[in-house]
Amino acid sequence: MKKETQLISAGRSKKYTQGVVNPVLQRASTVVFDSVAEFKEAAKNRGNHALFYGRRGTNTHFALQEAIAELEGGAGCALYPSGAAAIANTLLSFVKSGDHILMMDSAYEPTRDFCDKILQGMGVSTTYYDPTIGAGVSELIQDNTRVLFMESPGSITMEVQDVPSLVKAAKAHGLITMLDNTYGNGLSFRPLDFGVDISIQAATKYIVGHSDVMMGVSVATEEYWPTLRENSYLLGQCCSADDAYMALRGLRTMAVRLKQHEQSALQVANWLSEHPLVDHVRHPALPSCPGHEFFKRDFNGSNGLFSIVLKQGNQDALDALVEALHHFKMGFSWGGYESLITTNLTMKGLRSQTGWNFGPVVRLHIGLEDVEDLIADLSQGLDVYASKL
């Protein structure tokens, strides 16, 4: 079965749908039992998609959890109220005081801040590694290293990681491997197929796909699923049935949305790579992106997200560019149907190991608007930019 087909049927068990296409929307805190025998049976199955208590989920949640576990090829999927919560709680589920984490230097900023501001205070230390380090990560592994954390491609600067080499090094030392797969989404990249133990996504992005729900998901292998499930439960993690319903609804159309995002973004990226103001384009499918060879080897496709590095600039010119655009709104998220832009003049504070010796970075999310309209918009925006240099 092709993945596009799988995405349509995953999680659609009659238990959850009661005979219609979509799962029932079951909002609940309390589950009630008619007999002690029924209660005991439910208690026995409580980690196993059976009604027990609201925080353990309802049939709406179970349908989504099964669909995403199938998409990512894992034993189970934990749900969280945001992508940031998924990352924080997945890490918290596996580290204790005295442990050490290896974190890539181009990690999503709140992931980095969680390590520096929360885990540090709990006695868990973090070393940042160059995202392009590959097998060289072995040299950074200490006796107390517990987790190797990856994100591929990295946030904003888009380095694609050599995941098989990183995993091999980590496994030789018995580390747990986690990967923020928000970009790879389970269709374009499946970390568990490459030996990663836990794949995490901000479902807020392409799974939900319409910029109207915050959610995080973590999918683990058979080995790590029971600990992830129970520890996330103890940390009080859950999400509303309405949000789970919306995420599953988004998931059903993700493949077709991604194809359009991918096609339009490639067209815009190719156009930008010829633009005189652009130093280089960091789109994983283009050779100018660090780690492009790993993207070609390991990914099934790209999507609407990429960055461009400008030859020169200043904050006033960047602000003028953003103000001049009509279809690209300034916004921190991505993965919805709309085009977005963020700018970074120097990348200051976002990297500690790998410096930044290039010009300003502009990150674009190419939405589902007509691509000619988007190119025309960027073209006039860059003319305004040039006039401010």
- Give the footprint of ligand PLP on this chain (CB under 6 A): 82-84, 108, 151, 155, 180, 182, 202, 204-205, 214, 216, 333
Which one from 27, 40, 44, 55 is the annotated catalytic residue? 55
Number of residue whose CB is nearest ligand PLP: 83
Least distance to ligand PLP from the beta carbon of 155, Å?
5
Which of 99, 162, 180, 298 does the annotation list as catalytic?
180
Catalytic one of 108, 128, 129, 245: 108
Task: Please name the residues in contact with 288: beta carbons below 8 A apart, sequence gap of 6 or more.
Answer: 273, 280, 281, 282
Closest approach of ligand PLP to the CB of residue 207, in Å: 10
Report in angstroms how near the CB of residue 182 gets to ligand PLP at its nearest.
Answer: 4
Q: Residue 94 CA to chain centroid, in angstroms?
A: 19
Question: Shortest gap between Cβ of 298 and ligand PLP (angstroms)?
Answer: 17
- How many Cβ atoms from other residues are within 10 Å of residue 5's Cβ? 10
Whether 205 is a known active-site residue: answer: yes
Is 143 one of the catalytic residues?
A: no
Which is nearer to ligand PLP, 26 or 201 (by Cβ)? 201
Of 82 and 288, the one with the shorter C-beta distance to ligand PLP is 82
Spatial distance between the Cα atoms of 253 and 255, rounded to a whole number of angstroms: 6
Query: Is residue 249 among the annotated active site residues?
Result: no
Residue 78 CB partners (closer than 8 Å, separation 6+): 65, 86, 89, 90, 217, 218, 219, 220, 228, 229, 232, 237
Closest alpha carbon to 59 in 50, 68, 67, 72 = 50
Query: Closer to ligand PLP at the Cβ: 88 or 374?
Result: 88
Looking up tokens 């928000």 gives: 182
Assign 3-class secondary structure to 264-304.
HHHHHHHHHHCCCCEEEEECCCCCCCCCHHHHHHHCCCCCC
Q: Rounded to the nearest whole angstrom, what is the least distance from the CB of residue 83 to ligand PLP in the complex? A: 2
CB closer to ligand PLP, 204 vs 303:
204
Residue whose CB is less far from ligand PLP, 108 or 295: 108
What the block records as the tokens of 319 is 């602000």
Q: So which residues are the catalytic ones? A: 55, 108, 180, 205
